[in-house]
């Protein structure tokens, strides 16, 4: 198995951990204000921090500063961008318009999904 940044191990462990924690924590007991502007800002800040960390994580897995590390980081960036755009467009189409879409949640969630999907192969595929 060719795996650039240990994505198979990292994503499997984090997914199983999240599933177990969701089982033990359970659903929310009190709903918050979904239109709170601070929530949108925190989504963006958290997503940006994850994205920058992901670039370093995948780029550092090349163990070099050459073309392979650059290609790995470019693939990671493009995957995050494509995931963000794809999730946002899908959410807008499924909700039949942008008035019901929490855009920051969908943009950040899509970016993280794209980054997760690209982690194992980011060092071995061409961005073209």
Chain centre distance of CA 38: 20
Residue 63 has pLDDT above 60, yes or no: yes
pLDDT at 31 over 70: no
Residue 44's φ and ψ, nearest 5 degrees, are -65, -45
- Domain boundaries along the sequence of the chain: 7-28+36-118
- CA–CA separation, 19 vs 110, rounded Å? 19
Residue 19, pLDDT > 90, answer yes
What would the pLDDT profile of 66-122 be if each residue is shown by its tens digit?
Answer: 788 888 888 889 999 999 999 888 887 876 555 655 678 888 889 998 988 888 887
CA distance 121 to 64: 17
Whether residue 127 has pLDDT greater than 80: no
d(CA 73, CA 79): 10
Q: Which residues contact 8 (CB under 8 A, 6 or more apart)?
A: 1, 120
């Amino acid at each position: 198995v060719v795996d650039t940044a240990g994505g198979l191990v990292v994503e499997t462990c984090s997914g199983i951990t999240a599933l177990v924690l969701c089982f033990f924590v359970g659903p929310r007991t009190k709903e918050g204000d979904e239109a709170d502007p601070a929530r949108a800002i925190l989504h963006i800040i958290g997503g940006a921090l994850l994205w920058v960390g992901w670039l370093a994580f995948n780029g550092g897995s090349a163990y070099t500063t050459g073309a392979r590390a650059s290609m790995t980081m470019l693939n990671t960036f493009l995957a995050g961008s494509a995931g963000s755009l794809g999730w946002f467009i899908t959410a807008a189409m499924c909700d039949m318009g942008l008035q019901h879409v929490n855009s920051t949640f969908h943009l950040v969630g899509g970016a993280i999904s794209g980054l997760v999907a690209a982690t194992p192969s980011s060092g071995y595929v061409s961005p073209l």
